Each structure stands twice: as C-alpha cells, then as structure tokens.
Amino acid sequence: MFYHVKELQYNAKPSQPDPVYAKKLQEILGGQYGEMSVMMQYLFQGWNCRAESKYKDMILDIATEEIAHVEMIATMIAQLLDGAPANEQDEAAKDPAIEAVLGGMNPQHAIVNGLGAQPNDSVGYPWTARYTIASGNLLADFRANLNAESQGRLQVCRLYEMTTDPGVRDMLSFLIARDAMHQNQWMAAIEELETTQGAVVPSTFDRKNEKQEVSYTFYNFSEGTESQQGRWAGGPTLDGQGTFEYITKPEPMGQIPELQPGPPYIHGTPPLSMRQNQNNPKPFQ
C-alpha cells in the first residue's frame, strides 16, 4: 500500500515559464534513464525479491523515493508550460541556429497534454517497460541499477548546464545529489553481495560446465595492441579464480558454416546443381 503526501519531496518551482526547456526535461522523466524507468525497475525488483528482507526493504525505499522524483519533474514541466501558447515555439526559435538545436516547444504539451507533462522522452518516444530490468538475481540487478543511476545523473548534470533558471537548477541540484547517493548505495550493496556470491553472475552455475580454457582470455579483435595496456589484459582476474591472458591474433575455433538448402515450400534460392537440372522453359526465340 502506498500513501500520497501532498508536499513534494523537494521544491519544484521554476523562476519563469520556459516551454522549450520543458521539452528537454521530458528526457529525465520518460527517457530510457529517466525517473519513470528507475521507479518501475526498483518497484518490480522489490516486489519480486526473494532474498533476505533487508534487500527488499532497501529496494522499495529507493523505489518509493523515485515515485516522488517523477512527481517533482512532472510538476516542474507543467509550471514551465504555464501560459505557453502554441506559437511559443516560433518565438523561441526565430534564430535558425536556435531552431536547429532546440527544435522549439513540444506541440503535444499543448495539444495532447493540456500544458502538462507526458510519459515520453524529449523527442516524444513513449516510455516502455523494456527499459527496466528485474531479473531476480540481485547482483545482476544492482549492477543494472548502478548503470541506470550513472546515466541518469549524467543526463541531469547536462540539463543543469542547459538552463540558468535558479529554480530549475535548485531542483536539479537535489536530483543530482540523490543520484550520487543512489550510486553509492548500489555500489555498497554490490560489494556486500560479492563477498558471498563472488564477482561473476550467476554464482550458482557449476563452472565445470563452461569452457574454462577461454574463461579469462582477452581476444584482440581489432588493429593495434593498445588494449593490452589495460588491467583486463594481464594479471589475476577480479573474481580471484584465474589469470587474464592476452591473445594478439586469435585463430578461428569453429567450422565453416554451410547450411542445407531449404525445403521447396520456402521458395528460397536453390543450389546451382538443382537449378541446372530443372526443366526450364526454352528461351524466347
């Protein structure tokens, strides 16, 4: 059960309307790494959690906070659209250079949403549940969460640089700080899980069933050998189970793929030998 508190978690008050910036802000609402994505990702991870209760409780704590972030951004977008007429995009984009970069106001904000936010990204692509990950393996999920928070914080920081509105920047500075906390939180949880599960996911798979002779081999599949200078190319592996090996010119280990002709009802291209034996009609004379 969820309860709604009327007050926002943090202030979401722009200094003045800005419908062009409202379009940009849609990215951190309904984009791939927006607040809707992490909200749904964490909620389903928490609801599906079968591990010990401290993990479920922690996941749902942050998931519920993300609901608050969605409300904050939606509220900010709506206020940025206050009093915005449909021709606002023309006013904002009189300069051809500005028009090319900004694209003006999102007309759907006025036509479809009545000067409100929408569950889309900044170019109008609808939010999709395919952005989310809830695999049931906490180590795999927490790594995905760390990536989501990393990308999310990066995008919010970029949006911070795209406005001078003190009210907008104030809200974004709060979200940036929370994304920093959430990165630290997921890193701490990952570190804790790795002490008991190891670094490779899933830890429950019998490693005798994998091709162990290539488990720690780095293949140089591009020109140059600069990649050999990295930590991943030599020394002990991070799971403590082997040693990295660098192969400069890897040799193929598989067969030449040769497929049988498809059955006649597929109407594919028959092999040459079959075509030569067919009773083709006489050429036109």
Residues in the annotated binding site: 35, 57, 61, 66, 69, 149, 182, 220, 222, 224
Among all chains, which residue has been given the structure tokens 């790494």? Answer: 33
Number of H helices, E strands in the chain: 10, 3
What is residue 20's three-state secondary structure? Answer: helix
The structure tokens listed for 223 are 């020109």
Task: List binding-site positions for Ca(2+).
Answer: 57, 61, 220, 222, 224
Helices 166-197 and 53-80, axial angle in degrees (round to 10): 160
- Spatial CA neighbour of 19 closest among 174, 166, 163: 163
What is residue 188's three-state secondary structure? Answer: helix
Q: How many CA atoms lie within 13 A of 95 on its CB side?
A: 5
Task: List binding-site positions for Mn(2+).
Answer: 35, 66, 69, 149, 182
Q: Which residues, other chains included, contact 88 with Cβ-Cβ below 8 Å and sequence gap of 6+?
A: 19, 20, 104, 105
